[in-house]
Every structure is written in structure tokens, then in C-alpha cells.
Amino acid sequence: MRNNDGPPRSFPVVGMLPELLLNMHRIHDWCTEVLGRCHCTFIFKGLWFSNMDFMLTCDPANIHHILSSNFANFPKGSEFKQMFDVLGDGIFNSDMDLWKNQRTVAQGFMRNHRFHNFLSTTARYKVEEGLIPVMDHFAKRGLVLDLEDVFQRFSFDATCILVTGHDPRCLSVEFPEVLFSKAVDDAEEALLYRHVRPRWFIKLQRWLNMGQERKYRKAWQVLDDVIAEHICQKRKDLKYRGSISEIVEDGADLLTLYITEEKSTGLECDDKFLRDTVLNMMLAGRDPTSSALTWFIWLVSCHPTVENKIIEELRSKIPAEETEKRRLFKAEEVQDLVYLHGALCEALRLYPPVPFQHKEPLESDVLPSGHPVHPNTKIFFNLYSMGRMKSIWGEDCFEFKPERWINERGVIKHEPSYKFLSFNAGPRTCLGKEFAFVQMKSVASAIVYNYRVQVSDETPIAPAVSIILHTKDGLMAKISGRWD
């Protein structure tokens, strides 16, 4: 069945599906192996008459062509919207003018200096009042802690505050159950299986209300209910508060801005629009940040030399007499740290939070790799594989080397976005890139400088089968104070 010199063997009727199913438990690494044999691009053949054929690529030239130079010909497409229907008409699902208008408004709100201040304050508040108490609790008792769960709770709380102004306080030593987060995880798992199953099978599961589609429907209902509560409460709060200028000055979360600035944006901010917007932004803030932090802390714990260099860089920001004490760093203290930034980028290169993307052309085209594509051709970018291609990153592409992001002048080396795709590229470049780095640096500096992390050998660290690059079984570790 295996072809060591090219794409998987294609059988009559079932195509390449047998090898895909055999490797589903390690789908990201299997795709990397196949793309490595096929010069970064190959055509997957699925079941006959099932519309499961697709192109898989991690070729930077193809990605630059699709995301930048011929952007107008490659919208998300109707199939993407059907597959990710839970996102509604939010910014991730939208195309053309609808997407352009939403992006313009969101970009304006995120550039608001009040929102910037709110971001820095929120990150520090959640580190001090949420993260540190949990870390200290487990460190003092010598208990094993799932750091991935901690990071998900941190990013969920922080994102919920930034988007809705509400702090769910799910990051606490009690580790309360979070229905919203569980629903997001269930929906993401179901969405991945939608990519590898025939459309008729998905429709059958939906009609019978069984399997992954049953889980997906239940998760969707939970998401709707939770967001509806936030919107209703926000409208009540705004109704009984002061003038718009006072409201915005007091707390510029995004939901407040959308409601109070509706007339100036030209958007119809009814409950449906707000529901889709809140969900899209909650997903954008919760999952990528927590995934990136999980893989970063694991990689640093496996590389003591990198850990020591980060600590020394952090020490350079504080007085000598305070270097042997616990310390939390302000956003402005860590924003320009070169080695820390390089280490975060290196973790994102090897373990991109969103491991693949999906596009369709409107009109026939030929990609730089020479592959023709036609309307309704499904094209998947594999970001996970891109970070592991020797032709792109060199012979040492599997190594964790923050130095590759630092040039000879000691400043951050710029890599083209279509080569380092963790924050997307072209007109759809991630709006929250800066905010993600603020949160990641706040958490990373607090943990690396103040704690030692010993990852459990009993739980192998491997990527989960999901549209978000979570770990399969969590990041189980023991924590101890560095300066005790």
C-alpha cells in the first residue's frame, strides 16, 4: 500500500482512503511524510463519486499565489462555509464585501488606544489573579498539573474579558467545568472529521442525529446559549450606564464597541451579527494562544539551554539586586525581548495552532508548482508540514532553534508570511497577531522566570486529531518555584 517515492497508492473505487484511515491517528505527521516525498504538493484521491479529491500543499510559492498575488480568485468558498457553518457569517466565514466591511471595523476597534490599554491590563490581571495562584497551589503541594488545561483556561478568561467584558473566572484552583470550552472542543473534533468523510455520510449522521454530527449539534446549542446570555447582559448593562463616551472610556471590550458604535460602523449589529462576531473572536483568541503556549513551554522544558537564555534575557530587564526573586513582567518590559520572541516564533513554526487551511478557486488557474486547479477544487495548506520541510527551512528544520529568528545584528529576522504562516498572509493576515504576542509573552515570562517545569514521562506529548493543534493527552507536569 505504501509508496516510498511519491504519493500514497491509489486503489480502484476507494482511492487513497485506506492509507489515510490507517494514519488518521497521526494525520499531521503522515501528511508531512507524503508532502516531503512529493515536493510539497500532491493530489489526494478519495472515494469515487464522493467529491473527496483535494490538493494538499505546503509550497510557499503556491501559498503566496493563493493568499496574495491572486487573492481575489481564492475566497473561502461555499464549501468552507457549509463545513464551518457554526461560525455563521462571522469574519472567518465571510468573503468579498461582507468580509471587507467586518475586517475594516474590527481593525479600527483593535487600533483604539483604549482597547490597547484594556489588553495590557487584562493580560497582567489574569497572570496575577489567575495563573500565579494556580501555579503556586500545585507547586507547594507537589501535584501533577495539566498545563494545557491551564493555558486554555487563561486564554478563555482573557479573551472573554476582551470580547465581552465578562470574566468567567475558569482559571482558579477549583478548576470549574466550562461548558463553553467543552463545546468548542467537541465542535472542533467534529469539524476535522467533516474534512475526511464523504458529504453523504455527514448528511446521514446529521439526519439520524448520531455520531460526530450529534456531538456537533449539541455543542452548537451550548455556544448559542452562552453567547446569547453575554449579549443580553451587555445590552442591559449599557442601557443603565452613562453616555457612550463614558462607557467606552470605562471599559472598551469589543462587544461594547460594536453596540455603542453601530451607527458609525455602518454594520447592522443585531443579535445574529453579534453572536457570529463574538464566536469568531472567542475562537480566534482562545485556541491559538493556548495551543502556542502549550507547545512553547514543552519545547523550552526539553531544551535547558534555551530556557537559560530566556531567563538571562529577562534578568537584563531588572535591577541586579532583584534578579534572585520572583518577578512578574509588564507588557512593555518584554515586548522587545529578541530571544523570547524568537523562541515563541520557533514554537509556532514547529507547532502552528491552526495546522491547515482550506481554499477554493473561483476560476481555473495554474499554481506556481505547475498544478492546474479548477472551480470547486479543494486546496488545503498544511502549516504543520511547512515547518518540517528541509527545502523550506533547511536540514535542521526539525530542531528547536530560536537563533534562526535572530540575524547577525541581534534583531528579529523577518520571514515572509507565506513561509511562516501561523498568522496567515496577504489581505487576511491575522488582526490579533500583536495581541497574541502580548498575552504569550506575559505568560511565558511569568512561568519560565519563576518556575521549573518537569514534564511527566508517563504521558507522551503528541498532536491531537483536531483542527486546532492541541496535544493528545494534555501537558502533564510538576511545578516547582525557581527562587524558593
Is the CB of residue 412 less than 8 Å from the CB of residue 405?
yes
DSSP assignment of 138-187: HHHHT-EEEHHHHHHHHHHHHHHHHHHS------STT----HHHHHHHHH
Task: Give residue 459's pLDDT.
Answer: 77
Is the CB of residue 293 less than 8 Å from the CB of residue 151?
yes
Does 7 map to a domain? no
Is the CB of residue 53 less than 8 Å from the CB of residue 378?
yes
Does 369 map to a domain? yes
Does 9 map to a domain? no
* Residue 389: alpha-carbon gap to chain centroid: 21
Closest by CA position to 280, among listed 349, 376, 187: 187
Is the CB of residue 115 less than 8 Å from the CB of residue 109?
yes
CA torsion sign, 66 to 67 to 73 to 78? positive
Q: Please, which contacts does 109-113 make with residues 24 or more away whose CB atoms are closer than 8 Å? A: 109/252, 109/254, 109/257, 109/258, 109/261, 110/254, 110/431, 110/432, 110/435, 112/252, 112/257
Torsion angle of the four alpha carbons 414, 416, 421, 427, in this order, in degrees rounded to the nearest 10? 120
Closest by CA position to 431, among listed 122, 90, 86, 104: 104
Q: Which residues does residue 41 pair with via DSSP β-bridges, in sequence order?
A: 57
What is the spatial distance between Cα 286 and Cα 275, in angstroms, rounded to a whole number?
Answer: 16
Pairing assessment for the beta strands 144-146 and 476-481 based on DSSP bridges: antiparallel
Is the CB of residue 137 less than 8 Å from the CB of residue 162?
no
Task: Give residue 199's pLDDT.
Answer: 78
Does 1 map to a domain? no
Task: Give residue 195's pLDDT.
Answer: 76
What is the spatial distance between Cα 439 and Cα 378, in angstroms, rounded to a whole number?
Answer: 34
How many H-runs (helices) and E-runs (strands) does the chain carry?
21, 9
**In 198-216, which positions are buried (b, 16+ CB within 10 angstroms) versus exposed (e)?**
eeebbeebeeeeebbbebb
Residue count of the chain, please give it: 484
Span 37-86, pLDDT tens digits? 999 999 999 888 777 788 999 999 999 999 999 999 998 777 788 888 89
CA torsion sign, 65 to 68 to 71 to 74? positive
| Domain carrying residue 295 | 17-481
Does 49 map to a domain? yes
Does 5 map to a domain? no
CATH of the domain at 84: 1.10.630.10
Is the CB of residue 163 less than 8 Å from the CB of residue 281?
yes
Model's pTM, two decimal places?
0.89
Query: What is the full per-residue pLDDT of the chain (484 aa) written as tens digits?
Result: 455 677 888 888 888 888 888 998 898 999 999 999 999 999 999 888 777 788 999 999 999 999 999 999 998 777 788 888 899 898 888 888 888 898 998 888 888 777 877 887 888 899 999 999 999 999 999 999 999 999 999 999 999 999 998 899 999 999 998 888 889 888 888 888 887 777 778 888 888 888 889 999 999 999 999 999 999 999 988 887 654 444 444 457 889 989 988 888 888 889 999 999 999 999 888 889 999 999 999 999 999 999 999 999 999 988 877 777 888 998 888 989 999 999 999 999 999 999 988 888 999 999 999 999 998 888 999 999 999 999 999 999 999 999 999 999 999 999 999 999 999 998 988 888 888 898 999 999 999 999 999 998 877 889 988 888 999 989 999 999 998 7
Does 11 map to a domain? no
Residues in contact with 231: Cβ distance below 8 Å, sequence separation at least 6, in sequence order: 255, 271, 274, 275, 278
Domain total for the chain? 1
> In Å, how far are 44, 198, 372 from 47, measured between CA atoms?
10, 8, 21
Closest by CA position to 92, among listed 296, 332, 454, 354: 354
Does 125 map to a domain? yes
Residues in contact with 321: Cβ distance below 8 Å, sequence separation at least 6, in sequence order: none
